[in-house]
Amino acid sequence: MSIQQFFDKALQNLNRRKSNYLGDRTLYIGASDIGTCPRKVIKGKLEPVEHTTRTLMRMNRGHLAEDLLAKIFTAGGAKFEQQMEVIHHVQPFKAHLDFVFLGRGKDAGMHVVEVKSVDGIPDEPYPTWIDQLHFQLGLLRDHYPKARIGGSVLAVDVNAGAVHEFGGYAPQPEVYEYLLNRGVHMLAALHGEEEPQIEVGILCGYCDYRHDCPAFCGETITVPPEVDHMAQRYAELSEGKAEIDREMKYLKGEIITFFGDRFRGNTEHVTIVVSTIGPSETVDSKLLQSDFPEIYGQVRKPRAGYTKLEVKELKRQKLKTAA
């Protein structure tokens, strides 16, 4: 067995052990399910797939972030409980709270912190994060009706060493009731009593069940606001890149004209190096293919394809009203 094979197998075992505390997830609806597409939730419970090593590494990155935060909170003298379990008093709804900070004294409160490991801190918390937190706060309120309860989502980018809190959340009865109804729908779908709803969102790209999802099998796809925002930003950057390239080409010409074909030195602000690359030779592939096809067939090699993305901002025409 190679090191890679051993690693892949050991990682699968580690994931199973780390998930033991969650119990049989086909028997209940968890807080992490509530804000997720119902179809993905039910498919995941009834038709689980074996995650790739890449996915498992990303999932364990979240556990590592929680372990690190626990050590930091402990070092800071905070009083907290980790992975507190709260269960709905009637329905099989359950949540495992990453951190619950416990206040001190007679007027002590409780503050829930949901940890999210990310690649880059988003400008705003994702809706699924907020739904999950509100469900947790609602369940906690059921158990402690008189306590002061608050909550935050803590986004952690371990690679960049960045942490950001999206805070100021408190139990909202109306939101909690809406989320409870979502849970009831998921339970009915889990028991085969109705079809699970489909909700298109930014995380569809990571869904193991997208290949046969009706939302992606038709001719049109409902683009969620988060993806639309990213596409708009991509288009803006693409247009800006073209302008930057033109300006850089002009500046490059002017600078080389000033220094000539060879220079190395510093100003107060920058280092400048101008050098000349000598002439070289290359193979004319079209000529080789036409005049020496046998040789061309022997020396050519396949090149992998790639996915191309083009996004252009729509030019909105002004409607002219009749005079």
Q: How far apart are CA 29 and CA 32, in angstroms?
A: 8
Task: Provide the CATH number for the domain around residue 45.
Answer: 3.90.320.10
- Domain hosting 131: range is 3-199
Residue 288 lies in a domain: no
**Is there a domain that residue 185 lies in?**
yes
Let me know if residue 264 belongs to a domain: no
Cα–Cα distance between 87 and 28 in angstroms, integer?
10
The CA–CA distances, whole Å, from 32 to 57, 97, 240, 313 equal: 19, 10, 39, 35
Residue 230 counted as domain residue: no
- Whether 99 is in a domain gets the answer yes
195 to 51, 125, 207, 220: CA distances (angstroms) = 25, 29, 18, 21
- Tens-level pLDDT at each residue, the chain (323 residues): 788 888 888 888 887 776 666 678 888 999 999 989 999 999 999 998 888 888 888 778 888 889 999 999 999 999 999 999 999 999 999 999 999 998 775 557 899 999 999 989 988 898 899 999 999 999 999 999 989 999 999 999 988 999 999 999 999 999 999 999 999 999 999 999 999 999 998 888 888 899 899 998 877 788 888 888 888 888 888 888 888 999 999 999 999 998 888 888 888 888 999 998 888 888 888 888 888 888 888 888 888 887 777 777 776 544 444 44
Structural domain count, the chain: 1
Q: Distance between CA atoms of 165 and 163, rounded to whole angstroms?
A: 7
Tokens representing 107 are 């007027």
Residue 321 in any domain: the answer is no
Looking at the domain assignment, is residue 265 inside a domain? no
pLDDT digits (tens, 9 = 90+) for 129-146: 999 999 999 999 999 998
In a domain, 176, yes or no: yes
According to DSSP, residue 50 is labeled P
